[in-house]
Amino acid sequence: MTEVAVSLGERSYPIYVAAGEVERLGVVARRHLTANRILVVTNPTVRAIYGKQVQDSLEKAGFSVCQAEIPDGEEYKTLDTVKELYGKALDIGLERGDSVIALGGGVVGDTAGFFAATYMRGVALVQVPTTLLAQVDASVGGKVGVNHPRGKNLIGAFYQPRFVLADVETLSTLPIREIRAGLAEVIKYGVIWDANFFSWLETNIGRLLGLECAALEYAIATSCRIKADVVSADEREEGIRAVLNFGHTVAHALEAITDYNRFVHGEAVAIGMVAAARLAARLGYFEPAGVERISAIVSRTGLPGEIPADVPVEALLEAMHRDKKVASKQLIFIFPEAIGRVRIVRGVPVEAVTAVLAGSRSER
Protein backbone atom coordinates (compact mmCIF):
# COMPACT_ATOMS: atom_id res chain seq x y z
CA MET A 1 0.00 0.00 0.00
CA THR A 2 1.14 3.52 -0.85
CA GLU A 3 0.03 6.34 1.44
CA VAL A 4 -0.12 9.95 0.26
CA ALA A 5 -0.66 12.73 2.80
CA VAL A 6 -2.80 15.78 2.06
CA SER A 7 -1.54 18.40 4.52
CA LEU A 8 -4.28 20.85 5.50
CA GLY A 9 -3.74 21.35 9.21
CA GLU A 10 -6.73 20.03 11.17
CA ARG A 11 -8.32 18.87 7.91
CA SER A 12 -5.33 16.78 6.80
CA TYR A 13 -6.08 13.27 5.56
CA PRO A 14 -4.40 10.27 3.92
CA ILE A 15 -4.95 8.74 0.49
CA TYR A 16 -4.37 4.99 0.42
CA VAL A 17 -3.51 3.43 -2.95
CA ALA A 18 -3.19 -0.35 -3.33
CA ALA A 19 -4.68 -3.46 -4.90
CA GLY A 20 -7.42 -5.39 -3.13
CA GLU A 21 -8.13 -2.75 -0.49
CA VAL A 22 -11.92 -2.64 -0.84
CA GLU A 23 -12.20 -5.81 1.24
CA ARG A 24 -10.15 -4.09 3.98
CA LEU A 25 -12.29 -0.94 3.99
CA GLY A 26 -13.72 -1.74 7.41
CA VAL A 27 -10.28 -2.09 9.00
CA VAL A 28 -9.13 1.23 7.52
CA ALA A 29 -12.39 2.98 8.41
CA ARG A 30 -12.13 1.85 12.02
CA ARG A 31 -8.82 3.73 12.30
CA HIS A 32 -10.37 7.00 11.13
CA LEU A 33 -14.05 7.03 12.11
CA THR A 34 -15.44 7.24 15.62
CA ALA A 35 -19.15 6.73 14.92
CA ASN A 36 -20.60 3.28 14.39
CA ARG A 37 -23.23 4.13 11.76
CA ILE A 38 -22.32 4.57 8.09
CA LEU A 39 -24.43 5.44 5.05
CA VAL A 40 -22.80 4.12 1.87
CA VAL A 41 -23.83 6.11 -1.22
CA THR A 42 -23.29 4.31 -4.51
CA ASN A 43 -24.95 3.62 -7.87
CA PRO A 44 -26.59 0.41 -9.13
CA THR A 45 -23.60 -0.64 -11.26
CA VAL A 46 -21.04 -0.30 -8.47
CA ARG A 47 -23.37 -1.73 -5.85
CA ALA A 48 -23.86 -4.89 -7.90
CA ILE A 49 -20.09 -5.45 -7.95
CA TYR A 50 -18.90 -4.17 -4.56
CA GLY A 51 -21.98 -3.57 -2.41
CA LYS A 52 -21.92 -6.85 -0.49
CA GLN A 53 -18.12 -6.83 -0.14
CA VAL A 54 -18.18 -3.33 1.34
CA GLN A 55 -21.13 -4.12 3.61
CA ASP A 56 -19.44 -7.27 4.94
CA SER A 57 -16.11 -5.51 5.49
CA LEU A 58 -17.69 -2.63 7.41
CA GLU A 59 -19.96 -4.85 9.49
CA LYS A 60 -17.05 -7.13 10.36
CA ALA A 61 -15.29 -4.04 11.73
CA GLY A 62 -18.29 -3.30 13.94
CA PHE A 63 -20.14 -0.68 11.90
CA SER A 64 -23.89 -0.49 11.35
CA VAL A 65 -24.33 0.01 7.60
CA CYS A 66 -27.09 1.27 5.31
CA GLN A 67 -26.77 1.75 1.57
CA ALA A 68 -28.36 4.36 -0.68
CA GLU A 69 -28.38 4.19 -4.47
CA ILE A 70 -28.34 7.20 -6.75
CA PRO A 71 -28.91 6.83 -10.50
CA ASP A 72 -25.88 6.38 -12.74
CA GLY A 73 -25.05 9.36 -14.96
CA GLU A 74 -23.97 13.01 -14.98
CA GLU A 75 -27.58 14.10 -15.52
CA TYR A 76 -28.38 12.92 -11.99
CA LYS A 77 -25.71 15.06 -10.31
CA THR A 78 -28.39 17.48 -9.13
CA LEU A 79 -30.02 18.99 -6.07
CA ASP A 80 -32.97 16.66 -6.61
CA THR A 81 -30.67 13.68 -6.09
CA VAL A 82 -29.21 15.30 -2.97
CA LYS A 83 -32.74 15.86 -1.64
CA GLU A 84 -33.39 12.13 -2.06
CA LEU A 85 -30.27 11.43 0.00
CA TYR A 86 -31.45 13.85 2.71
CA GLY A 87 -34.70 11.89 2.87
CA LYS A 88 -32.92 8.54 3.09
CA ALA A 89 -30.62 9.84 5.83
CA LEU A 90 -33.53 11.19 7.85
CA ASP A 91 -35.46 7.94 7.40
CA ILE A 92 -32.64 5.89 8.93
CA GLY A 93 -31.91 8.47 11.63
CA LEU A 94 -28.42 9.40 10.43
CA GLU A 95 -26.94 11.78 12.99
CA ARG A 96 -24.30 14.46 12.80
CA GLY A 97 -21.74 12.17 14.41
CA ASP A 98 -22.25 9.44 11.82
CA SER A 99 -20.39 8.96 8.52
CA VAL A 100 -20.95 8.81 4.76
CA ILE A 101 -18.92 6.70 2.33
CA ALA A 102 -19.00 7.64 -1.37
CA LEU A 103 -18.46 4.42 -3.32
CA GLY A 104 -18.22 4.98 -7.07
CA GLY A 105 -16.98 7.36 -9.73
CA GLY A 106 -16.94 11.12 -9.92
CA VAL A 107 -20.71 11.61 -9.98
CA VAL A 108 -21.12 9.57 -6.79
CA GLY A 109 -18.16 11.28 -5.12
CA ASP A 110 -19.31 14.80 -5.99
CA THR A 111 -22.96 14.21 -5.10
CA ALA A 112 -22.41 12.21 -1.93
CA GLY A 113 -19.70 14.65 -0.92
CA PHE A 114 -22.03 17.64 -1.27
CA PHE A 115 -24.69 15.74 0.66
CA ALA A 116 -22.20 15.00 3.47
CA ALA A 117 -21.03 18.62 3.54
CA THR A 118 -24.56 19.98 3.94
CA TYR A 119 -26.47 17.35 5.92
CA MET A 120 -26.75 18.60 9.52
CA ARG A 121 -23.98 21.09 8.69
CA GLY A 122 -21.55 18.33 7.87
CA VAL A 123 -20.98 14.65 8.60
CA ALA A 124 -17.74 12.72 8.21
CA LEU A 125 -17.00 11.76 4.60
CA VAL A 126 -14.92 8.93 3.11
CA GLN A 127 -14.17 8.68 -0.60
CA VAL A 128 -13.79 5.23 -2.19
CA PRO A 129 -13.37 6.06 -5.90
CA THR A 130 -13.82 3.18 -8.34
CA THR A 131 -12.86 4.88 -11.63
CA LEU A 132 -9.40 6.06 -12.65
CA LEU A 133 -10.62 9.61 -13.20
CA ALA A 134 -12.07 9.74 -9.71
CA GLN A 135 -9.00 8.14 -8.13
CA VAL A 136 -6.59 10.72 -9.52
CA ASP A 137 -8.84 13.78 -9.62
CA ALA A 138 -12.42 13.98 -8.40
CA SER A 139 -11.92 12.32 -5.00
CA VAL A 140 -8.80 14.34 -4.11
CA GLY A 141 -8.85 17.96 -3.02
CA GLY A 142 -12.20 18.45 -1.34
CA LYS A 143 -14.28 19.87 -4.18
CA VAL A 144 -17.83 18.55 -3.95
CA GLY A 145 -20.95 19.73 -5.71
CA VAL A 146 -23.77 19.29 -8.17
CA ASN A 147 -24.80 20.75 -11.48
CA HIS A 148 -27.37 23.43 -12.28
CA PRO A 149 -29.32 23.59 -15.55
CA ARG A 150 -27.12 26.57 -16.48
CA GLY A 151 -23.78 24.86 -15.91
CA LYS A 152 -21.66 22.16 -14.28
CA ASN A 153 -20.59 22.30 -10.64
CA LEU A 154 -22.18 25.69 -10.01
CA ILE A 155 -23.50 24.54 -6.61
CA GLY A 156 -20.80 23.18 -4.34
CA ALA A 157 -18.39 23.43 -1.47
CA PHE A 158 -14.89 22.60 -0.32
CA TYR A 159 -15.23 19.64 2.04
CA GLN A 160 -12.32 17.35 2.87
CA PRO A 161 -12.81 13.61 3.50
CA ARG A 162 -11.44 11.72 6.50
CA PHE A 163 -9.54 9.49 4.06
CA VAL A 164 -9.54 8.31 0.45
CA LEU A 165 -9.11 4.64 -0.47
CA ALA A 166 -8.19 3.93 -4.11
CA ASP A 167 -8.19 0.23 -4.99
CA VAL A 168 -6.53 -0.28 -8.39
CA GLU A 169 -8.30 -3.63 -8.83
CA THR A 170 -11.63 -1.81 -9.24
CA LEU A 171 -10.35 -0.51 -12.58
CA SER A 172 -10.52 -3.99 -14.12
CA THR A 173 -14.31 -3.64 -14.42
CA LEU A 174 -14.13 -0.42 -16.47
CA PRO A 175 -14.45 -0.11 -20.25
CA ILE A 176 -11.21 0.94 -21.96
CA ARG A 177 -12.73 4.32 -22.83
CA GLU A 178 -12.95 5.15 -19.12
CA ILE A 179 -9.36 4.05 -18.53
CA ARG A 180 -8.14 6.31 -21.34
CA ALA A 181 -10.20 9.19 -19.99
CA GLY A 182 -8.60 8.81 -16.56
CA LEU A 183 -5.15 8.71 -18.11
CA ALA A 184 -5.77 12.17 -19.60
CA GLU A 185 -5.72 13.60 -16.08
CA VAL A 186 -2.64 11.53 -15.23
CA ILE A 187 -0.84 12.99 -18.27
CA LYS A 188 -1.92 16.44 -17.11
CA TYR A 189 -0.06 16.03 -13.82
CA GLY A 190 3.16 15.25 -15.65
CA VAL A 191 2.82 18.34 -17.85
CA ILE A 192 2.03 20.77 -15.05
CA TRP A 193 4.31 19.53 -12.28
CA ASP A 194 6.76 16.68 -12.90
CA ALA A 195 8.87 16.23 -16.05
CA ASN A 196 10.29 12.93 -14.79
CA PHE A 197 6.79 11.55 -14.30
CA PHE A 198 5.85 12.65 -17.82
CA SER A 199 8.89 10.80 -19.18
CA TRP A 200 7.89 7.73 -17.16
CA LEU A 201 4.42 7.91 -18.71
CA GLU A 202 5.91 8.08 -22.21
CA THR A 203 7.71 4.80 -21.47
CA ASN A 204 4.96 3.05 -19.51
CA ILE A 205 1.66 4.12 -21.07
CA GLY A 206 1.24 0.61 -22.50
CA ARG A 207 1.50 -0.96 -19.04
CA LEU A 208 -1.17 1.40 -17.76
CA LEU A 209 -3.50 0.62 -20.65
CA GLY A 210 -2.87 -3.06 -19.89
CA LEU A 211 -3.94 -2.44 -16.25
CA GLU A 212 -0.71 -3.69 -14.67
CA CYS A 213 -1.30 -3.21 -10.95
CA ALA A 214 2.22 -2.05 -10.06
CA ALA A 215 2.24 0.56 -12.82
CA LEU A 216 -1.26 1.74 -11.92
CA GLU A 217 -0.41 2.04 -8.23
CA TYR A 218 2.65 4.15 -9.06
CA ALA A 219 0.80 6.38 -11.53
CA ILE A 220 -2.20 6.91 -9.25
CA ALA A 221 -0.07 7.56 -6.16
CA THR A 222 2.16 10.00 -8.06
CA SER A 223 -0.87 11.82 -9.49
CA CYS A 224 -2.43 12.05 -6.03
CA ARG A 225 0.85 13.26 -4.55
CA ILE A 226 1.07 16.04 -7.13
CA LYS A 227 -2.53 17.11 -6.55
CA ALA A 228 -2.00 16.87 -2.79
CA ASP A 229 1.01 19.20 -3.05
CA VAL A 230 -1.05 21.72 -5.02
CA VAL A 231 -4.12 21.48 -2.78
CA SER A 232 -2.02 21.74 0.38
CA ALA A 233 -0.60 25.01 -0.92
CA ASP A 234 -3.95 26.41 -2.09
CA GLU A 235 -7.00 24.60 -0.70
CA ARG A 236 -9.65 27.02 -2.00
CA GLU A 237 -8.31 27.70 -5.51
CA GLU A 238 -7.22 31.26 -4.83
CA GLY A 239 -3.84 30.96 -6.55
CA ILE A 240 -1.60 28.08 -7.62
CA ARG A 241 -4.40 25.48 -7.56
CA ALA A 242 -5.57 26.96 -10.86
CA VAL A 243 -2.73 25.07 -12.60
CA LEU A 244 -4.87 21.95 -12.19
CA ASN A 245 -7.14 23.48 -14.82
CA PHE A 246 -4.58 22.90 -17.60
CA GLY A 247 -6.59 21.82 -20.63
CA HIS A 248 -9.89 22.64 -18.97
CA THR A 249 -10.61 26.04 -20.54
CA VAL A 250 -11.28 24.37 -23.88
CA ALA A 251 -12.51 21.12 -22.29
CA HIS A 252 -15.35 22.65 -20.31
CA ALA A 253 -16.49 24.68 -23.31
CA LEU A 254 -16.36 21.63 -25.57
CA GLU A 255 -18.38 19.57 -23.10
CA ALA A 256 -20.97 22.33 -22.73
CA ILE A 257 -21.66 22.90 -26.43
CA THR A 258 -21.93 19.15 -27.08
CA ASP A 259 -24.47 18.77 -24.24
CA TYR A 260 -22.11 16.63 -22.14
CA ASN A 261 -22.97 13.52 -24.16
CA ARG A 262 -20.36 13.41 -26.93
CA PHE A 263 -17.15 13.31 -24.91
CA VAL A 264 -16.35 11.90 -21.51
CA HIS A 265 -14.46 14.43 -19.41
CA GLY A 266 -10.98 13.01 -19.99
CA GLU A 267 -11.44 13.09 -23.76
CA ALA A 268 -12.35 16.77 -23.62
CA VAL A 269 -9.35 17.43 -21.37
CA ALA A 270 -7.03 15.69 -23.84
CA ILE A 271 -8.27 17.92 -26.67
CA GLY A 272 -7.96 20.93 -24.37
CA MET A 273 -4.38 20.10 -23.36
CA VAL A 274 -3.23 19.82 -26.98
CA ALA A 275 -5.01 23.07 -27.87
CA ALA A 276 -3.50 24.90 -24.87
CA ALA A 277 -0.02 23.63 -25.74
CA ARG A 278 -0.39 24.81 -29.34
CA LEU A 279 -1.67 28.19 -28.20
CA ALA A 280 1.23 28.52 -25.75
CA ALA A 281 3.69 27.77 -28.56
CA ARG A 282 1.99 30.25 -30.89
CA LEU A 283 2.34 33.00 -28.28
CA GLY A 284 5.96 32.13 -27.50
CA TYR A 285 5.55 30.49 -24.10
CA PHE A 286 6.35 26.91 -25.15
CA GLU A 287 8.62 25.06 -27.56
CA PRO A 288 7.08 23.18 -30.53
CA ALA A 289 8.93 20.02 -29.44
CA GLY A 290 6.95 20.05 -26.21
CA VAL A 291 3.70 20.34 -28.14
CA GLU A 292 4.69 17.26 -30.13
CA ARG A 293 5.42 15.26 -26.96
CA ILE A 294 2.02 16.10 -25.48
CA SER A 295 0.22 15.40 -28.76
CA ALA A 296 2.09 12.10 -29.17
CA ILE A 297 1.28 10.69 -25.74
CA VAL A 298 -2.36 11.73 -26.09
CA SER A 299 -2.49 9.85 -29.40
CA ARG A 300 -0.72 6.76 -28.00
CA THR A 301 -3.21 6.65 -25.15
CA GLY A 302 -6.02 6.44 -27.68
CA LEU A 303 -7.43 9.85 -26.78
CA PRO A 304 -8.64 12.51 -29.21
CA GLY A 305 -6.35 15.50 -29.67
CA GLU A 306 -8.27 17.50 -32.24
CA ILE A 307 -11.53 19.44 -32.15
CA PRO A 308 -14.16 17.82 -34.38
CA ALA A 309 -14.71 19.74 -37.61
CA ASP A 310 -18.44 20.04 -36.96
CA VAL A 311 -17.91 21.97 -33.70
CA PRO A 312 -18.21 25.72 -34.45
CA VAL A 313 -15.27 27.78 -33.21
CA GLU A 314 -17.62 30.68 -32.44
CA ALA A 315 -19.70 28.49 -30.12
CA LEU A 316 -16.56 27.28 -28.35
CA LEU A 317 -15.39 30.85 -27.75
CA GLU A 318 -18.80 31.87 -26.43
CA ALA A 319 -18.81 28.93 -24.03
CA MET A 320 -15.29 29.78 -22.84
CA HIS A 321 -16.42 33.28 -21.93
CA ARG A 322 -19.24 31.79 -19.81
CA ASP A 323 -16.82 29.63 -17.80
CA LYS A 324 -16.67 30.42 -14.08
CA LYS A 325 -12.86 30.77 -14.34
CA VAL A 326 -13.20 33.84 -16.62
CA ALA A 327 -12.20 37.02 -14.79
CA SER A 328 -13.34 40.48 -15.98
CA LYS A 329 -14.30 38.90 -19.32
CA GLN A 330 -10.65 37.91 -19.88
CA LEU A 331 -9.85 34.40 -21.08
CA ILE A 332 -7.57 32.56 -18.66
CA PHE A 333 -5.37 29.70 -19.86
CA ILE A 334 -2.81 27.49 -18.18
CA PHE A 335 0.20 27.46 -20.52
CA PRO A 336 3.12 25.03 -20.34
CA GLU A 337 6.51 26.75 -20.35
CA ALA A 338 8.28 23.39 -20.31
CA ILE A 339 7.19 19.84 -19.58
CA GLY A 340 6.73 19.90 -15.80
CA ARG A 341 6.17 23.66 -15.49
CA VAL A 342 3.18 25.85 -16.35
CA ARG A 343 2.02 29.40 -15.78
CA ILE A 344 -1.37 31.08 -15.46
CA VAL A 345 -1.94 33.57 -18.28
CA ARG A 346 -4.81 36.06 -18.15
CA GLY A 347 -6.12 38.09 -21.04
CA VAL A 348 -5.10 35.67 -23.79
CA PRO A 349 -5.86 37.36 -27.16
CA VAL A 350 -9.10 36.10 -28.65
CA GLU A 351 -7.59 36.29 -32.14
CA ALA A 352 -4.85 33.82 -31.21
CA VAL A 353 -7.33 31.49 -29.54
CA THR A 354 -9.56 31.58 -32.62
CA ALA A 355 -6.65 30.81 -34.94
CA VAL A 356 -5.48 27.84 -32.88
CA LEU A 357 -8.98 26.41 -32.46
CA ALA A 358 -9.64 26.74 -36.18
CA GLY A 359 -6.37 24.96 -36.92
CA SER A 360 -6.97 22.14 -34.41
CA ARG A 361 -9.70 20.33 -36.30
CA SER A 362 -10.39 16.77 -37.32
CA GLU A 363 -13.09 15.06 -39.33
CA ARG A 364 -14.13 13.00 -36.30
Q: Which residues are catalytic?
A: 121, 143, 185, 227, 237, 241, 245, 248, 252, 265
Q: Which of 62, 153, 145 is nearest to 108 (CA)?
A: 145
Residues 6 or more apart in contact with residue 97 via CB below 8 angstroms: 34, 35, 123
Q: Which residues pair with 107 in a beta bridge?
A: none
Question: What does the DSSP assignment read for 249-293?
Answer: HHHHHHHHHTTTSSS-HHHHHHHHHHHHHHHHHHTTSS-HHHHHH
CA distances from 317 to 139, 250, 270, 277, 351 (A): 30, 9, 18, 17, 10
CA distances from 353 to 28, 232, 281, 357 (A): 48, 32, 12, 6
Q: How far apart are CA 96 and CA 90, in angstroms?
A: 11
Half-sphere exposure in the Cβ direction for 363 (13 Å, CA) = 0
